Structures are given as structure tokens and as C-alpha cells.
Amino acid sequence: MGYRILADATMVVHFAFLAWVVFGGFLAWRRPWAIWPHLLTAVWGFSTVLFGFNCPLTWVEDRAREQAGSAGLERGFIDTYLTGIIYPERYAGLMQALVAVVVAVSWAGAAYRWRVRAQRPELS
């Protein structure tokens, strides 16, 4: 039962990580420090998709499921839980491009807000 809980908890953390990769840059609009952790996680997230790097969260979930007596993940996390379920498999490339656009917009918006904030005269 412990491995099943670990597998499910890892899945939840993985979904949270993906949400952070997609939307975390918007936090930097209000909290400029947030751009650095978002930059690191976005680079990692995109590299797992573009270059096929193995994600440690996928590995942990897969091993925990196997130890719990279930079948491990046959494919990666995104292919298992999103592709074919949230969006049709034929739109996988489009979804990747959409995520890249959302991240780019969040970074551009953050840069714009930082510039506007820097040009504002200090209030006494």
C-alpha cells in the first residue's frame, strides 16, 4: 500500500510540476524572483520532451507502481496521462507549441512589467 501511495503522490507532484512549467512564468509578473526557478524548470521540462531526457518523477512513479504490483508506465508521463486523454494524439505537436507560446508570453509579460516598474518614479 505504501508504494501505491508513493506512486499516486508522485503523479500529483508531476501534474503540479507540469502546471508550474506552463503557468509559473506568470507568477514572475508580480514576484520577479520567480523567473529563475521557472526558467530552470521550463528548460528541464522542454528538454525532456524535445531531447527525450528521462524525468526522475516518471522513474519514481514507474518503480513505485511496479513495487505495488501494478504495471509500470509503458510510456512517459505526458503520453500516459495527457496524450489521447486530454487531447488527441495527433495534436501532440500542437500542444507542445501552445505550451511554448504560453511560456514565451509569460516571460515577455514579466519583462514588460519589470521595465514599466523600473521606469516608474519612486513614491515617497
Per-residue pLDDT for 123 more than 80?
no
- In angstroms, the Cα distances linking 121 to 21, 33, 65, 84, 124 are 33, 21, 56, 51, 9
For residue 117, what pLDDT is reported? 86
Mean pLDDT to the nearest integer, 22-46? 94
**Cell matching residue 79:** 503520453
Strand partners, 87: 83
Strand partners, 83: 87
User: pLDDT exceeding 90 applies to what percent of the chain?
Assistant: 72
- In 3D, which of 22, 8, 18 has the Cα closest to residue 60? 8
**pLDDT tens, position by position, 55-104:** 999 999 999 999 999 888 888 889 889 988 999 999 999 999 999 999 99
Per-residue pLDDT for 124 more than 80?
no
For residue 35, what pLDDT is reported? 95
Per-residue pLDDT for 9 more than 90?
yes
Beta carbons of 38 and 20 less than 8 angstroms apart? yes
DSSP 58-71: HHHHHHHHHHTTS-
> How many angstroms from the chain centroid is the CA of residue 109?
19
Q: Chain-wide mean pLDDT for the chain?
A: 91
